[in-house]
Amino acid sequence: MRLRSKFIVAAVLLHLALVTLAWQLLDYNKALFVAAEILIIASIVFTAKLYTSFVRPLNLIAAGIESIKDRDFSIKFIETGQKEVDQLIQVYNQMMDELRQERVVQTEKHFLLERLIEASPSGIILLDTHDRVAGLNPAAALLLQTSGKEVVGKPLPELPGHWGDSLGKLPKDEQRVIRPNGIQTYRCRKIRFLDRGYHRYFILVEELTAELLEKERNAYEKLIRMMSHEINNSIGAVNSILHSFSYFSPQLDPATRPDFDEALQVCITRNQNLAGFMANFANVVRIPPPVKRPVPLHELLQSIHRLMTPSFERAQVAWQWDLDADSPTVEVDVQQLEQVLINVLKNAVEAVDAGGWVKVRTVANPPQLLIQDNGKGIAPEVQEKLFSPFFSTKANGQGIGLTMVREILLQHGFKFSLQTGADRVTTFAINFTP
């Protein structure tokens, strides 16, 4: 039973008892009976006023509680003239003003934070308490090449591409530099924050590609130029001495002369190979800016096909075509792009066993080129190092081919990637839209 109901029942029972007692006075003393009835009526009036004064604060409290439940902080009460009730009203109105002001401040801060996150050039991935994706900003969606709806609720290891493997192993409250596709470089930090009393994390992904590429390029350019200068000076002097030795060959004993000539030729050949080796490195830092002109992509691919056919036949690898009906016209430096395609196709042939295939695909809109093979594939531990300068998985590789490919395509402003899919097909893709 509610408090108001208890008060009404108590008041009714009390006055019924008083009326009964007063009725007993009717036969004994009528004047006393009339006085008792007047007192009972006065008591009823007083009790009614007391009930009104008692119930009004309860009504105000109930209305205030309902407005707080509904998060409606705009309701305020007017003072009644009763001191106790007015004190309650003043406290309530002050509380509503403070709550309303606090909500406005929090809403403005939340809106500002949302706009900052959306406008941030760095990718931000919000996680829930179980390290599942709770949301991400447009920059992160662009990096992951997906929409927020597709990844929300997924654990980090299930993110698309190589991001899942890289971010899934990211330590808490630490930062790490990763290269999920071997080309772009990112600094990732997993940062903790408090949300409604629970610890949660978000991942901040900042791209460092342009800055690191520039520093990397300057470092190996300086190193190669210094090495090339010193080695070429030595090679020139040694070659001059070796050729001078050849004039003494006729003076030698006929029995030892063949060994002398053979040893001399081995030294000269090795010197020439060393000069060629350094020239290959020097070519990486001497790539000129591209001179672009429009060229039909299919015509360029046909010329490359004629050039590479002997290599494919020797390796017993099939060349497959999957060309778009419309040949896209691309703005490229033909010589540089030819060098790119030759390097990529050569690597594809070497990765495929006899009886395998290499497929050349084109897309007209937007213009794209995809070179696919069913070879050995790229191991996850190799993926991040693919385009690192002078990194090679081959026993005698110099690591120059993909470095040159990277430099040429970056100077053209083309996006590119090299990765092995779930179907074990390795794809080198070039997007010709800057």
CATH 3.40.190.10 fits 120-207, yes or no: no
Alpha-carbon span 375 to 394, nearest angstrom: 15
pLDDT at 220: 59
- Model confidence over 36-93: pLDDT tens digits? 788 878 888 888 777 776 666 666 667 767 777 777 767 777 776 667 667 777 777 7
Nearest to 416 by CA among 402, 431, 403: 431
DSSP sequence for 77-88: ----S-HHHHHH
What lies within 8 Å, CB to CB, of 349 at 6+ separation is: 308, 311, 312, 315, 317, 358, 373
| pLDDT over 80 (residue 321) | yes
Token output for 318: 């099939």
pLDDT computed for residue 370 by the predictor: 93
* Spatial separation of the C-alpha atoms in residues 227 and 231, rounded to whole Å: 6
Distance CA 84, CA 92 (A): 13
Contact indicator for 427, 372 with CB cutoff of 8 Å: yes
Residue showing tokens 């590429």: 213
Instruction: State the average pLDDT over residues 143-163.
Output: 80
CB 190 within 8 A of CB 244: no
Higher pLDDT, 326 or 18: 326
Q: Which two tokens stand for residue 325?
A: 């009906």
Domain residue ranges of the chain, discontinuous segments joined by +: 3-103, 120-207, 219-285, 293-431
Q: What is the pLDDT of residues 9-29, one digit of tens each?
A: 777 788 788 777 777 776 777
Please choose, from the candidates 164, 211, 165, the residue with its C-alpha nearest in 3D space to the C-alpha of residue 184.
211
pLDDT, residue 221, reads 65
Q: What is the pLDDT of residue 75?
A: 73
pLDDT tens for 235-287 read 677 777 777 777 777 777 777 777 777 777 777 776 776 666 666 556 655 67
The torsion region of residue 33 among left (phi > 0), alpha (psi -120 to 50) and beta comes to: alpha
3-state SS assignment for residue 421: coil
Residue 419 in this model has a pLDDT that exceeds 80: yes
Q: Read off the pLDDT of residues 178-201 as tens digits, 9 standing for 90 and up.
A: 776 666 777 888 888 877 777 888
Q: What is the pLDDT of residue 358?
A: 93
Question: Beta 357-363 vs 198-207: how paired, if at all?
Answer: unpaired
370 to each of 91, 143, 166, 360, how far by Cα in Å?
A: 72, 20, 25, 6
Q: How many residues does the chain have?
A: 434
pLDDT on residue 211: 60
Q: Quick one: what percent of the chain has pLDDT higher than 90?
A: 9
Residue 364 has pLDDT above 80, yes or no: yes
Q: Which of 105-114, 158-167, 275-284, 290-299 has the highest mean pLDDT?
A: 290-299
CATH 3.30.565.10 fits 293-431, yes or no: yes
Q: In this predicted structure, what is the pLDDT of residue 132?
A: 87
